[in-house]
Copies of this chain bind each other. A is one copy, B any other.
Amino acid sequence: MSDTEIDALVRGLALAAKQAARRLAAAPSAQKNAALQRAATALASAAGDAVLEANAKDMAAAEAGGLSGAMLDRLRLDRPRLNAVAAGVREVAALPDPVGAVVSERTLPNGLRVQRVRWPLGLIGIIYESRPNVTADAAALALKSGNAVLLRGGSEAFHSNRAIAAIVAEALEAEGLPPAAVTLLPTVDRRATLAMIGLDDVVDVVIPRGGEGLIRFVAEHARVPVLRHAKGVCHIYVAHDADLEMALAVVENAKVQRPGVCNAVETLLVDAQVADAFLPRLAERLRDVELRGDEATRRRVPAARPATDEDWDAEYLDRILAVRVVDGIDAAIDHIARHGSRHTEAIVTGSEDCGARFVQEVDASLVLVNASTRFNDGHQLGLGAEMGISTTKLHAYGPMGLEELCTLRWVAYGQGQVRA
C-alpha cells in the first residue's frame, strides 16, 4: 500500500471507531457489562478455540522465525491461559462504572448549577508488544470506562490478536453496541502506527505498552497526547534509624518476590551509619541475588561486583541489585532525584520526621514509608485492574485504572443566565 492508502485506511477506521465511541459513552453499565460477560464466556468456551488456532499459527511462524524461548512463552496461549484472560475480563465487568459520576457540584451566585462529571476519554489508541492477552485486558478496561479502542498489537501475535478482537466485537454487537468500538489495525506496517498516532483530531489519547524503545518511538512521533508508562528504576533507602530486620524483609520482598516487574527495587541506598551492621546481613539474606556495590559497599561485602555508572540507571528486571552507601538522607534524596524514574521510591526509617522529609522531597508516583515497592499496582492500591503505571505527571501519576481512563468535564444547568 502507498503512504496515502495507509493514511486513508487508518483514518477511516479511526473515524468509525470514534463514531462508536459516542455510543459507548452513552451506554448504560448493564449493557457494557453484558457485552464483557458475553466476550468472557466466548473466550472460555468452544468459541475460544478460534483464538487457540490463530495462536498456533502465530507460534509456528515465531518458531520458524527463531524467536527466543522467553518471547515464545509470552506469545503462547493455551486453554488455561485463555481461561485466565476470560476471568480478567469478568473481573473488569464487576468493577464499578466510573462514567457519569458527579465528583463535585455547586450553584453559583447567579443560580447556574455547575457539575464536574467523570466522562470517557473517547477513542483510545493502544500500542503494545507481543503478549496477546493485552488485547482482551485493554479492550475490557477501555469499554468498561465507556471508551472505544484502536488496537495495534505486536506483529508476532497478529492472528491471535485478530481472533480475540473479533470475539469482543461480536459480543458488543450481540448486546446492541457498535463492534467498531474495538478495532484492531489490520496491518502491522509501522506507517499505520505513525498514521494512528498523528490523528490528533480523532484519537483522544495513545497508550504505548511495552519496552523503552516502543515508548520512545511513540513519544517522539505522536501528535496525539500520550499516557506513558516508562521504566521503573525504584530505590529503597535504609535510613540511619531503620529497623534493620524490617529493612531486610522489605528489600527482600521488593527484589525477589517478582524481579521481572517494574515495581521491583533496582537500587538500594544504605545510610553510612548502618552500613556495617546491615550490609553483611543483606548479603546473607539475598544469597540468590547478584549485588553490584560501590566501594563502600564492597568493603563490607567483598563478594559484591563493582558497580559502574550504568548500574545506577539500570532497570535490571532480574535478580540483580545495585547497592550504594550514602551519607544521610540528603544524599539519598539527591541520588534518587538524579537516577530515579518517578515510579516508586521507599524509605525504611524509625522516625516520622525522616519519613516526612522523604515523602516531601522525593518525586515519584508512589512514595512509601516502611513498605515494599511492590505495592505500586492497581490491584494492591484498590483500583482493580489497570492499564499500566504512568510515570508522567500529566493526567495520571501511578496506576491507571478505570477512573484514569476518563476525564472530568463540566456541565452547567441554567435558566437563561448570561454573563454581565
Which residues of A does B touch, CB under 8 Å? Answer: 22, 25-26, 106, 108, 112, 114, 119, 121-122, 200, 204-205, 219-220, 223, 225-227, 243, 246, 249-250, 252-254, 257, 337, 348, 355, 359-361, 363-372, 374-376, 380-382, 392-395, 397-398, 407-419
Residue of B with least CB distance to A200: B219
Residue of B with least CB distance to A406: B393
| 16 A-B pairs with C-beta separation under 8 A | A106-B382, A121-B394, A225-B225, A246-B415, A250-B416, A250-B418, A355-B413, A359-B411, A367-B412, A369-B413, A369-B414, A370-B415, A370-B417, A371-B416, A372-B419, A397-B410
Q: Which A-B residue pairs are the 4 nearest by beta carbons?
A: A371-B414, A253-B418, A393-B407, A246-B416
Chain B residues within an 8 Å CB radius of A416: 243, 246, 249-250, 348, 370-371
Query: Are A419 and B380 neighbours in the complex by a CB distance under 8 Å?
Result: yes
Report Cα–Cα, A244/B170, bound state, in Å: 46
Known interface pairs A360-B26, A393-B204. Does A412 touch B368 (Cβ–Cβ under 8 Å)?
yes
Residue of B with least CB distance to A100: B360
Report Cα–Cα, A337/B417, bound state, in Å: 25
CB distance from A388 to the nearest CB of B (A): 15
Query: Are B368 and A257 neighbours in the complex by a CB distance under 8 Å?
Result: no
Report Cα–Cα, A416/B370, bound state, in Å: 5
Report Cα–Cα, A249/B414, bound state, in Å: 13
- Interface residues of A, dominant DSSP: mixed
Chain B residues within an 8 Å CB radius of A219: 200, 223
Chain B residues within an 8 Å CB radius of A337: 22
Copy number in the complex reads 2
Chain B residues within an 8 Å CB radius of A365: 409-410
Query: Are A363 and B393 neighbours in the complex by a CB distance under 8 Å?
Result: no
Known interface pairs A364-B409, A365-B409. Does A414 touch B370 (Cβ–Cβ under 8 Å)?
yes
Tell which of B22, B360, B409, B417 touches A397, judged by Cβ atoms closer than 8 Å.
B409
Chain B residues within an 8 Å CB radius of A397: 119, 407-410
CB distance from A411 to the nearest CB of B (A): 5
CB distance from A297 to the nearest CB of B (A): 23
Residue of B with least CB distance to A373: B419
Query: Are B371 and A412 neighbours in the complex by a CB distance under 8 Å?
Result: yes
Tell which of B254, B348, B375, B392 touches A204, judged by Cβ atoms closer than 8 Å.
B392
Chain B residues within an 8 Å CB radius of A114: 381-382
Most B CB atoms within 10 A — which of A204, A243, A246, A407?
A407
Known interface pairs A108-B382, A112-B375, A416-B243. Does A205 touch B368 (Cβ–Cβ under 8 Å)?
no
Tell which of B355, B415, B419 touches A253, judged by Cβ atoms closer than 8 Å.
B419
Most B CB atoms within 10 A — which of A366, A392, A398?
A392
Report Cα–Cα, A223/B222, bound state, in Å: 8
